[in-house]
Amino acid sequence: MVIPYFIRKAKSADVFILLILGALLAGVAELPYGGWIQIPILSLVWWRLNLNTHSNFKSFFSLGMVFGVGYFAIGLWWLYISLHDIGGINSLASGIAVFLVSLYLALYFAFANIAIVQFQKFRLQGLLLAASWVLIEALRGYIFTGFPWMGFAEGQFNGPFAPIAPLLGGLACTFLVIWISWEIYLAPKHLKSSVMLIVSVITLSQLAGLVSFTKPFGEPISIRLIQGNFEQSLKFNPQAIRQQINFYTSQIKEGAADLIVIPETAFPWPENNLPSGLLNYLQEFSNASSSNLLLGLIGEVRNSSDVQYSNRATGLSPNSAPYHYDKVHLVPFGEFIPPGFHWFVNAFHVPMSDFARGSPDQAPFKIVRQDGGEIYAAITICYEDVFGDEVASRINNSDKPVNLLINMTNLAWFGKSQASTQQLRLSQLRSLETGLPALRATNTGITAVLGPDGKVQASLPEFTQATLSTTVQGYSGKTPFVIWGNLPILSISCLLLIWGFLRHRRF
């Protein structure tokens, strides 16, 4: 068994303490100043791990695993809801699945912490530990299509290092969290130098927030974001689907706006199966009201041999051809089936779980204002806003200037959990990194309008059926992160580790 193996390699007291610290670290992320609170908790983690640097490698690595399991089991427990409550998998199997996901993600934390042992008795050990974490977190966002959810970066939206995001991105925030938490751990031994360093880094980070790289563009646009609050368990019930389609159609018709958005798969049937003439009917409404509509539905991608489905956002603008955005970064097991795992997905009893992947260079959505002006919006669907480097790359490479971010999401899969607040922080971090406002149209919440600084300007309560009617100001310009992405912080981290290894060999 995996659990006994990696637990028996460590002392029981260390196992218990690191498991609790990991869980506590995940829990405090939900607090108003969670990003600040996480830093001293991490210092306690380094203190406890450093007590074991004399142990053999397996024991130290196992303790890193324990810490990671505690962190991810608390942070991602909502996966149990999608597996058990929605997917119909029994309690034991669902619990084991959540544990295995946590165990896999904990591997990254354990590998990142090896720098503590590798660079012992080195005053700049914290810098090398931070560099190690950045590279490992980058891998976590890449291997097996990536799952960087629950990184320390999004917690920093409520922490001291958020202003660094427009310059160097979320991974740079992670770098500073690890480095400064290590300096706090060292403070009793190096009080003067550690305190000066901590105060200087935090001060410089806060001063970075005074610099703005984007500016308002054109006049604000009127928007309506419709939150349907439909249970996921009804998603594939034909009668419930008709009621859902009727609700969103009637709500769209309630009033004109420059932009009206409904959530991801709000029309949960393939385009061909939608009520006859529905899209034409909505196009006529768009023409008559001068409203731009953005609809979440199941798209159809035709090739020479067959038809595949896609998770699609369809845009309808006055007197224009329809716009299509097909989701690019698909969810493993939810939207595409990795080779050899069809048997596992069949246990969910959910149809259409192997979607076509959209092209990464899709154009932004053009929003034609009622006064004739235009702004462009970059679309993301569901957890695509986890991948900040991909969002930045799309904006930087776009033929049209992007003025607005729009995320369409359905988190009904995860019930009444912290998944919605976690994704809100991710969207806030994306706005901060790009310097652009964002709209979040969700099924159950959190439907919101975010400013270019990521702060919530307006929102709807969760689990309510309502429409958010307000305005949003488009912005123009590019932040350094949009231009360079993660390249600077990854380069810095690589150079630091090369320097550290060379110095280690010399001495």
Report pLDDT for 202: 96
Closest-CA residue to 113 (of 56, 61, 180): 61
pLDDT for 40-64, tens place per residue? 999 999 999 988 777 778 888 999 9
**Which residues form the domain of 463?**
215-298+309-332+363-478
Residue 386 belongs to a domain with what CATH number? 3.60.110.10
Residue type, 271: E
In a domain, 350, yes or no: no
Cα separation, 16 vs 319, in Å, equals 64
Query: Does 288 share its domain with 314?
Result: yes
Residue type, 179: W
183 assigned to active site: no
Query: Does 141 share its domain with 267?
Result: no
Query: Does 220 share its domain with 197?
Result: no
Query: Does 371 share its domain with 391?
Result: yes
In a domain, 278, yes or no: yes
SS3 for 498?
helix
Report pLDDT for 83: 84
Cα separation, 17 vs 15, in Å, equals 6
Query: Does 224 share its domain with 201?
Result: no
CA-based torsion, 352, 356, 361, 363: positive or negative: negative
From 137, 154, 183, 264, active-site residue: 264
Say how many residues make up the chain.
507
CA-based torsion, 398, 399, 404, 407: positive or negative: negative
Question: 10 pLDDT band (50/70/90 cuts)?
Answer: low
Residue type, 321: A
Which residues are within 8 A (CB) of 55 and not within 5 positions of it... i.e. 6 or more apart? Answer: 10
Query: Does 93 share its domain with 240?
Result: no
In a domain, 356, yes or no: no
30 assigned to active site: no
Q: CA–CA distance from 280 to each of 285, 369, 392 (Å)?
A: 9, 21, 34
In a domain, 471, yes or no: yes
Query: Does 31 share its domain with 172?
Result: yes
Cα separation, 302 vs 309, in Å, equals 9
Q: For the chain, what percent of residues have pLDDT higher than 70? A: 92
Query: Does 88 share its domain with 237?
Result: no
Cα separation, 69 vs 56, in Å, equals 20
Question: 308 pLDDT band (50/70/90 cuts)?
Answer: confident
In a domain, 344, yes or no: no
Burial of 186 (0-12, 13-18, 19+ CB in 10 A): buried
pTM equals 0.91
In a domain, 412, yes or no: yes
Closest-CA residue to 429 (of 138, 215, 203, 161): 161
| Contact status, residue 505 vs residue 264, Cβ threshold 8 Å | no
DSSP string, 377-433: EEEEEGGGGG-HHHHHHHHHH-SS---EEEEEE--GGG-SSTHHHHHHHHHHHHHHH
Question: What angle separates helix 125-140 from helix 170-186, to the nearest 10 degrees?
Answer: 150
Report pLDDT for 358: 83
In a domain, 348, yes or no: no
173 assigned to active site: no
From 327, 390, 433, 478, active-site residue: 327
Cα separation, 351 vs 357, in Å, equals 17
Q: For the chain, what percent of residues have pLDDT higher than 90? A: 67
In a domain, 161, yes or no: yes
Question: 335 pLDDT band (50/70/90 cuts)?
Answer: low
From 382, 384, 433, 478, active-site residue: 382
Report pLDDT for 351: 47
Query: Does 202 share its domain with 230?
Result: no
